[in-house]
Structure 1
Amino acid sequence: MAEDRAAPRYRVRKPAFIKYGGDKITCTVCDLSLTGASLEVFDAKNAPAKFTLVIPEDGLEIACEVIRRTEFRLGIKFD
């Protein structure tokens, strides 16, 4: 099967959090590319559609939008 992604993905396991308004949701970055990521979260259905992803280990804060949602996973693209 051909891969239709804009950039290659790299598997990682990095602790992170979703920041929106004054709230935070802890998550784990499962894979990462230049254009987006896959996040593991406890309750994906209640995560906001747009937020800032913070990866403290890398010193990153990236604006994101959810493009795919399952029970415990979010597929996001970077704005």
Structure 2
Amino acid sequence: MNDKRDTQRQNVMKAGTILFGGSVIDCLIRKMSVGGANLEVESQMGIPGSFDLVIEAEHSNHHCHIVWRKARRIGVAFD
């Protein structure tokens, strides 16, 4: 398998929030690494190419950009 990631992603299943321009969208963080994450959303409609990802359980906020999109999944890299 040809994996382009620098670090291995771990299964996490954590609640997250996508924030951009005053909008808030809930998501499920399915996998995460130091450099990025795999997010599941109800719909990708209106989600821009970059946004803040807030993970309340970790008290963290990551600015990220979208690397790929598939159906209800979004792959992001942390900036």
Cα RMSD for the two superposed structures: 1.0
Q: Structure 2: where are the runs of 5+ without partners? A: none
- Identity %, equivalent residues: 34
Displacement after TM superposition at 1:3 (Å):
3.1
Q: Structure 1: where are the runs of 5+ without partners? A: none
List, as ranges, runs of 4+ consecutive aligned residues in structure 1 with deviation greater than 6 Å: none
Give the TM-score normalised by structure 1: 0.93
Alignment partners' CA distance in 2, 1:2 and 1:24: 34
Give the TM-score normalised by structure 2: 0.93
Displacement after TM superposition at 1:5 (Å):
1.4
Q: How many residue pairs get matched?
A: 79
1:63 aligned partner = 63
2:29 aligned partner = 29
